[in-house]
Amino acid sequence: AQLPALLAAMPKAELHMHIEGSLEPEMIFALAQRNSVTLPYPSVEALRAAYAFTDLQSFLDIYYAGASVLLTEQDFYDMAWAYLQRAAADHVVRAELFFDPQTHTARGVPMQTVILGLSRACRDAQAQLGVSAALILCFLRHLSEDEALQTLQDALPWRDHFIGVGLDSSEVGHPPEKFQRVFARARDMGLHVVAHAGEEAPPEYIRQALDLLKVQRIDHGVQAVRDKGLMQRLARERMPLTVCPLSNQKLQVFPDLRDHPLKALLDAGLCATVNSDDPAYFGGYVNDNLRAMFAASNMDARHAWQLAANSIDASFAPPADKAAWR
């Protein structure tokens, strides 16, 4: 009975959320109106009704359409600020936000507009909400490595406004090995490196992310449960997995949360964390994910504390901050 209150109140880090995935339908329509963008949906209700996903790609098609309303620096600021306020309410003390610059630069929105809008919201979050927030630039893996290299190059003038790079979008058919050069360059620049791996694709993608991209965290990683040797390695190396239960449910990776392997991952000694991925599309923010996951499993308060501790340990926050939150 105390568990829901503990889950809500415990200080936590959110390490896997795509800021474009925090755009609620109401904000999509408000921004469309502000920017005179025509949407292929007549109403908020019609848009929400389209959120019936069968797999990752069926989601991505709608997610990229939603992001098309973002044009100005203020749009990016407003989106991130709305999320950060919501995160503060969930007792998130540290948020590391993914953003997809290629989704915007391809539409003619300058890199500077994207980064400065998001970055200003992160700065205000620290000052006004007490939330430590940072940005991770993601490459779209359905595009080429040359385009990823160009994107990193284009972002260099704002190198101090993001802390790392990631890899997202359509996974199957776009393995980590495709991005070895751009990840090597990012590491050389002192950027943190993470990658989505093992969301829908097999455990081999997780091995490649570790061995070829040398990532510091695996985003999702839930397919590791199909590979016993990999599970042992992830536990031994304390390699963080940023797990997103409601995303996995909505994208039919684990259609029933009672079959979700989160408890198995924790009990096997892996550094698993709980995150919202795309909260506006998957039915909830980080505390909603925790609540749903605990309601569907027999995890206890020890699992809750472990998840909170894991999230802070796995964050890229300064060690002094981590010590204060733990």
Contact string 244-283 vs Zn ion (x = CB under 5 A) = ---------------------------------x------
Smallest distance, Zn ion to C-beta of residue 18, A = 6
Residue 288 as a binder of Zn ion (CB under 5 A): the answer is: no
- Of 75, 278, 310, 325, the one binding ligand HPA (CB under 6 A) is 278
Q: Which of residues 242-261 bind ligand HPA (CB under 6 A)?
A: 247
Residue 277 as a binder of ligand HPA (CB under 6 A): the answer is: yes
Annotated catalytic residue within 199, 200, 204, 237 = 199
199 binds, among Zn ion, ligand HPA, none (CB under 5 to 8 A by kind): ligand HPA
Residue 101 as a binder of ligand HPA (CB under 6 A): the answer is: no
Smallest distance, Zn ion to C-beta of residue 268, A = 22
Smallest distance, ligand HPA to C-beta of residue 315, A = 19
Nearer to ligand HPA, 205 or 325 (CB): 205
- Can you give the three-state secondary structure of the chain, one letter per residue? CCHHHHHHHCCEEEEEEEHHHHCCHHHHHHHHHHCCCCCCCCCHHHHHHCCCCCCHHHHHHHHHHHHCCCCCHHHHHHHHHHHHHHHHHCCEEEEEEEECHHHHHCCCCCHHHHHHHHHHHHHHHHHHHCCEEEEEEEEECCCCHHHHHHHHHHHHHHHHHCCEEEEECCCCCCCHHHHHHHHHHHHHCCCEEEEEECCCCCHHHHHHHHHCCCCCEEEECHHHHHCHHHHHHHHHCCCCEEECHHHHHHCCCCCCHHHCCHHHHHHCCCCEEECCECHHHHCCCHHHHHHHHHHCCCCCHHHHHHHHHHHHHHCCCCHHHHHHHC
Residue 199 as a binder of ligand HPA (CB under 6 A): the answer is: yes
- Of 105, 113, 132, 169, the one binding ligand HPA (CB under 6 A) is 169
- 73 classed as catalytic: no
Q: Which sequence positions are flagged as catalytic?
A: 199
